[in-house]
Structure 1
Amino acid sequence: MIHKFSHSIFVAAALAAAFQAQAAAPTAAPAQPKLVVVLVVDGLPNEQVLRYRDQFGQGGFRRLLEQGAWFSNAHQAHGITVTAVGHAAVLSGAYPYQHGVIANNWIDAATGEQVYCTDDASYSYIGEETKRLDGTSPARLRVSTLGDELRYASGNRAKVVTVSGKDRGAILLAGKTGTAYMYMDKTGNFASSTYYMAQHPEWVQRYQAGKPQNRYYGKNWNLLLPESAYANDMPDPAPVVGGARNGFPFSYYSESGELDSGYYARLRTGPYLDELTLEFARAAVEGENLGRNAAGVPDLLGVSLSSHDYVNHAYGPESRMSHDHLQRLDRMIAGFFSYLDKRIGMDNVMVVLTADHGFANTAEFSQGRRVEAQRIDGNKLMQGLDAQLAKVFGVEKLVVGSAKGNVLPNIYLDHGLMEKNKLKPDDVEKAAAAWLEAQPGVNEVYRRQQIENGGANGTRQSLLMRRAFNHQASGDLILVHKPFWYVGSGTSGTTHGSPYAYDTNVPLMVMGKQWIKPGAYGQYAEVVDIAPTLAHLLRVRPPAGAEGRVLTETLR
């Protein structure tokens, strides 16, 4: 009995020691992804994904929703929600006050000239016409991106390639050391700029020679689903007398009857630009051998799909056009995932999908729901402000570029004129803000002096607007219109750019079998969380300006 009892104690002790050793042993980290794919759908409100999810196919958005982690309460958490600012946030993890991209266009305070978020006169498009303010480099992006950190950590062996229908969509994802390709409205080509290389690699030349953009000439964009599927959408706009039809069927042609810039520009509206973008992304995967890096390091592919933004601007997110485009985009993404599965294996791929901003409904749709909504003519507003300041201070043209409201919501004052006429900037700002806040549709105005002295505090909106303010680049005043109002001088369509939830709430989906726990997450999340999360999984340092958190609740 004593012998058996001692033996039992010995066995139990041995088992306990083995268990403790096993518990103490570090858990092996899963292998790094071979390829990280970051998809940005330009102008996609999260509510559209939720509203139309039952109609998605099996392999696109539905796959992300069911096999990935998705956040219903994710936001572009800054106050000026436009394409450039949103794209800059995705892989920098930074807010505009740090990354420096405060809008698509703004005014250089030193010269009084308008600048563009990715313009750089030192570089030009390769083989394409380059105009002033065309986007050719990331010079105005003041921080690093995830791709930059990945290349730094790998000794530049990791490849970072981005493609978009817009220059700013590609360039701001690529960062300082990646390679960006963008759609050319004049020719329908995808091209890079001399910032990245002297000439295109052979695979790009081969792709361009095939002229895939020409195959849509004379084709129509028709409804994908039965008519009944669109019963709750707004009807198509009335045909334009003597002009192009704006509803279904939407035709692709040019007034000249030739393959010209009119046709290539028209391709932006509807599904075919996105189809071309994903086709070029496939060519990049093969041409650069992405996901099969000989150095054994991960690669990064950024794809910004621009057409949904063009469709929503023209017709509104409540339209049949927008609804159908999202369904078609869903099938395109499914096809792209299927391609990656065969080429690399989706078990080796990490996918993130998000958007740069949401969208307001058209004013007419909001009015039909008994919501006060109008368009604000930005040019008239700026001219009125200039006249008011001249009346108060006896100095004309205190508002820089007052004849153009196209850099709103930023408003710039002429500091040289104020100094010359011994005017205090704070006095002029206060007078301007008081007049603006009395105008129809204007909710609030944030002043430079107020923000820099810490006076714009307390509310969620003020936090977003302070994040949107960059000391060197932003205006002296930033205008916030009332909910559902927006700046636009036309009589149709809609836009974005506000701190309201319909503009900030965007999809955030992360999928990767080895790294991510699938599920619907109700926690608050921000787009700036993407870069730190990917940096954690890729075992590289976060980008320099990153302020987001690692989405630890999603990690295996």
Structure 2
Amino acid sequence: MKKSISILITSLLLVSSGVFAQKQATKNPKLVVGIVVDQMRYDYLVRFQNKYGNDGFKRLLKDGFSLENAHYNYIPTYTAVGHTSIFTGTTPSNHGIIGNNWYDKYEQKSIYCVDDDKYATVGNNGDGGKKSPYRLVTTTVTDQLHLAQNMKGKTIGIAIKDRSAILPVGHTANAAYWFDGGSKGQWISSSYYMNELPNWVVDFNKAKKADFYLSKPWNTLYDIKTYTESIEDDNDFEATFKGEDKPVFPHNIPALRAANNDYSILKAIPAGNSFTTDFAKAAIIGEKLGASAHTDFLTLSYSSTDYVGHQFGVASKEIEDTYIRLDKDLADLFQFLDSKIGNGNYTVFLTADHAATQVPAYLQSVKIPGNYIQPAKFLNFLKEQTKKYFNSEELIENMSNFQIFLNKEKIKELKLDYETVAQTLANEAINYKGIYKTVTAKTMQTTMFTNGILNSLQNGYNQKYSGDVLLIPNPSTIIYPKKGTTHGSGYSYDTHVPIIFYGKGIKKGTSKKKYEIIDIAPTIANLLQIEFPNGTSGKIVTEVFK
């Protein structure tokens, strides 16, 4: 009798467990798509809204939930760091990706965030695929989804930039794909993920869509006279393609292609975003994403917006046209998801990896402060200080990303005190024109900054990898050529980005509360009812849920 009761109880538990699993599978979206627009300022949603159609950005805003006061909470606001922070739910102080490139004080050389010679290129015989996420020391929300589903379901990363494809999908991804430009013109991967490209990628590459997009000039989608949200087309603040006399429309892409590294010019025009959308759609079909009993995750980064922004600046007609065209690409993607996955069966979030400053030279022309720092001159100034105080010009090993790395062996050899050298440089660097704040590594380790720009600097400081003296420039003061612009600071023009949630499980609405980029990953994890990434320091945005 007892044995029969035991068998009955066990059977009921198994049935209820199966029902729960089935309900959870039904509750969760079939597919999550995390979209990152490289270098998208929040104000692009507003500035260009009259040029957008109803099915792209406006669809997300109308039927999704928009965080209007969302910011990055660390320095530096660079591409690799942004993509990593979005999907890990934490800052460089924890996840270890402190730049695109940075000085490795252990190897004593500059390194690139995803380079890894242990792996080979998959897709061609070049070196573009020798990559992996091994420098990332925490998990991503995509890793956690795999763990929660016993490695079932698929996670795929796609971007023109390798770092933007690799870092979001973490360590356990089924695949990451990026575009190899130059003479190659192919989507490739790394042997970290696979031994050969799937047939659908081979077929996509054979179709030569890149050549199609490079076969016609880049002109404005609408009459350029209607582009009243941007400054004059012919101005002194934009860089040209090689072979151009002026940075003006139309840009004769077929004629410029050879002088601009062949297929690589596709990265720097809005057609690169359309090309990325085409590949993402092919991936959804080829990998059968959203078709299994498990939740799949696609990370999709639009890189061309960053190349255009760097070259032409945030007030250019080129950037306006790029976002008008991206809006159409998004509409195309969403309609495709409706058709293949089913409206109501998928969840999307859209954000940016950073924003950007106005071209400082343009700001100067309208009497707004903006400036440039020349790194060679600044480094000479710092060496003058070490010569003055310590009778040596060999105490600085590297200066990059507004960080100074000291030569600790030389400091020991000269029997100097490391902390005295660091603090002296901090004290003197503050006197250099364009430098706003300076702090030492010791200050970062012994003082807790709870708000303001020093809090952002501290969130970006990694004790193991960061430099010995950290510098903050004045607002709109950059190390960059005088034509075009960049990003990387903790000021609002670099930190204020869109965050929009849309689709299954998400209600309609907006919020003006301040949220941080690191809040995305725990929010998505909570939606999926999975564990947070293991370094998470963000919070759940409860407002977005139905």
Distance 1:309 1:464 in 2: 23
Count the aligned residue pairs: 517
Q: Secondary structure at the match of 2:396?
A: coil
Q: Is 1:516 aligned to residue 513 of structure 2?
A: no
Larger-gyration structure (1/2): 1
Offset, 1:241: 11
Q: Secondary structure at the match of 1:445?
A: strand
Q: Is 1:75 aligned to residue 67 of structure 2?
A: no
| 1:359-378, Cα deviation, whole Å (9 max, x unpaired) | 00001221133111111112
CA gap 1:50/1:426 in 2 versus in 1, 3 angstroms? same
Residue identity opposite 1:69 in structure 2? F
CA gap 1:388/1:165 in 2 versus in 1, 3 angstroms? same
Offset, 1:527: 1.4
Tell me which residue corresponds to 2:3.
none
The correspondence of residues 497-508 of structure 1 with structure 2, limited to 5 A, is 497-508=488-499
The correspondence of residues 40-59 of structure 1 with structure 2, limited to 5 A, is 40-59=36-55
Distance 2:125 2:327 in 1: 33
CA gap 1:433/1:508 in 2 versus in 1, 3 angstroms? same
Distance 1:525 1:66 in 2: 20
Tell me which residue corresponds to 1:445.
438
Tell me which residue corresponds to 1:535.
525
Q: Secondary structure at the match of 2:437?
A: strand
Offset, 1:324: 0.9
The correspondence of residues 21-420 of structure 1 with structure 2, limited to 5 A, is 31-128=27-124, 130-131=126-127, 136-178=131-173, 179-186=175-182, 187-237=184-234, 243-244=243-244, 245-253=246-254, 262-293=261-292, 296-401=293-398, 407-420=400-413
| 1:179-209, Cα deviation, whole Å (9 max, x unpaired) | 2111112222111111111111111111111
Residue identity opposite 2:310 in structure 1? H
Distance 1:183 1:443 in 2: 39
The correspondence of residues 6-17 of structure 1 with structure 2, limited to 5 A, is none
| 1:6-55, Cα deviation, whole Å (9 max, x unpaired) | xxxxxxxxxxxxxxxxxxxxxx8771100000100000010121221222
Residue identity opposite 1:251 in structure 2? N
Distance 1:453 1:72 in 2: 34
* Contact 1:35 1:348 (8 Å CA) reproduced: yes
Q: Is 1:482 aligned to residue 474 of structure 2?
A: yes
* Contact 1:254 1:263 (8 Å CA) reproduced: no
Tell me which residue corresponds to 2:539.
549
Distance 2:374 2:69 in 1: 32
* Contact 2:38 2:304 (8 Å CA) reproduced: yes
CA gap 1:256/1:524 in 2 versus in 1, 3 angstroms? closer
* Contact 2:422 2:440 (8 Å CA) reproduced: yes
CA gap 1:135/1:366 in 2 versus in 1, 3 angstroms? farther
Distance 1:440 1:323 in 2: 33
Residue identity opposite 1:550 in structure 2? I
Q: Secondary structure at the match of 2:470?
A: strand
Q: Secondary structure at the match of 1:444?
A: strand
> Unaligned stretches of 5+ in structure 2?
1-22
Offset, 1:129: 5.1
* Contact 1:217 1:263 (8 Å CA) reproduced: no
Residue identity opposite 2:482 in structure 1? T
Distance 1:64 1:433 in 2: 46
Tell me which residue corresponds to 1:4.
none
* Contact 2:119 2:130 (8 Å CA) reproduced: no
Tell me which residue corresponds to 1:473.
465
- Superposition CA RMSD, Å: 1.9
CA gap 1:442/1:107 in 2 versus in 1, 3 angstroms? same
Distance 1:466 1:224 in 2: 43
* Contact 1:218 1:251 (8 Å CA) reproduced: no
Distance 2:29 2:220 in 1: 37
